[in-house]
């Protein structure tokens, strides 16, 4: 739990161990229809994104990290454990991961984009609320969370609007994790999705 307890923050559930966050590769492969092109929702510098549906009916977004990643398995798991504890209503939530052989997958909540008609009719009041939500999410990352994370790739495609037009910051692919009193980042410490 962060020290400032802003009303927009959600309570942080304690994560007991990595097994509670780990999904089998077969489960995610099945959920995404074998990572089919029809389920592909994006491509970034760190890998492709897919929409999926778990057997319990929950929609998920899956980031399939590039095979060329130099991050070791233990470092990957440790960083997933840290990032999974970040919970704020203006951040896309990380549910877990899958690690099998050279396959590294990150499993997120799926954010259903707002209806295009709603997006086309943005008045200034709604825009102001979206900007405020983005600022609250960044403040949480930079100041209020138990980690200090600098996003470093904030752009319009990394701000998702849910069905109610609430902004959620996504894609921490180039985010940097900082120690609380650290003033300069170690470029080898990349927290990634």
CA dist., res. 157 & res. 147, Å (int): 24
Q: Which of 125, 153, 162, 181 is catalytic?
A: 153
153 catalytic residue (yes or no)? yes
Q: Which residues contact 80 (CB under 8 A, 6 or more apart)?
A: 18, 21, 94, 96, 97, 106
Return contacts of 65-70, CB within 8 angstroms, 24+ apart: 65/104, 65/105, 65/106, 65/192, 67/102, 69/104
Show which residues are catalytic. Answer: 153
């Amino acid at each position: 739990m962060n020290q400032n307890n802003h009303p927009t923050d959600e309570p942080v559930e304690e994560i007991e161990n990595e097994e509670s966050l780990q999904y089998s590769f077969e489960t995610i492969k099945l959920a995404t229809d074998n990572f089919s092109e029809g389920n592909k929702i994006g491509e970034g510098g760190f890998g492709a994104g897919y929409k999926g549906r778990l057997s319990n009916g929950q929609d998920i977004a899956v980031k399939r990290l590039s095979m060329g990643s130099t991050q070791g398995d233990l470092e990957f798991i440790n960083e997933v454990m840290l990032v999974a504890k970040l919970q704020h209503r203006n951040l896309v939530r990380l549910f877990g991961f899958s690690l099998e052989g050279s396959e590294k997958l990150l499993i997120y909540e799926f954010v259903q984009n707002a209806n295009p008609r709603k997006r086309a009719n943005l008045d200034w009041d709604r825009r102001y609320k979206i900007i405020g939500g983005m600022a609250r999410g960044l403040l949480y990352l930079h100041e209020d969370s138990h980690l200090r994370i600098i996003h470093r790739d904030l752009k319009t495609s990394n701000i998702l609007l849910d069905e109610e037009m609430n902004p959620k910051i996504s894609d921490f692919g180039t985010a940097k994790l900082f120690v609380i009193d650290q003033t300069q980042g170690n470029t080898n410490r990349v927290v990634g999705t």
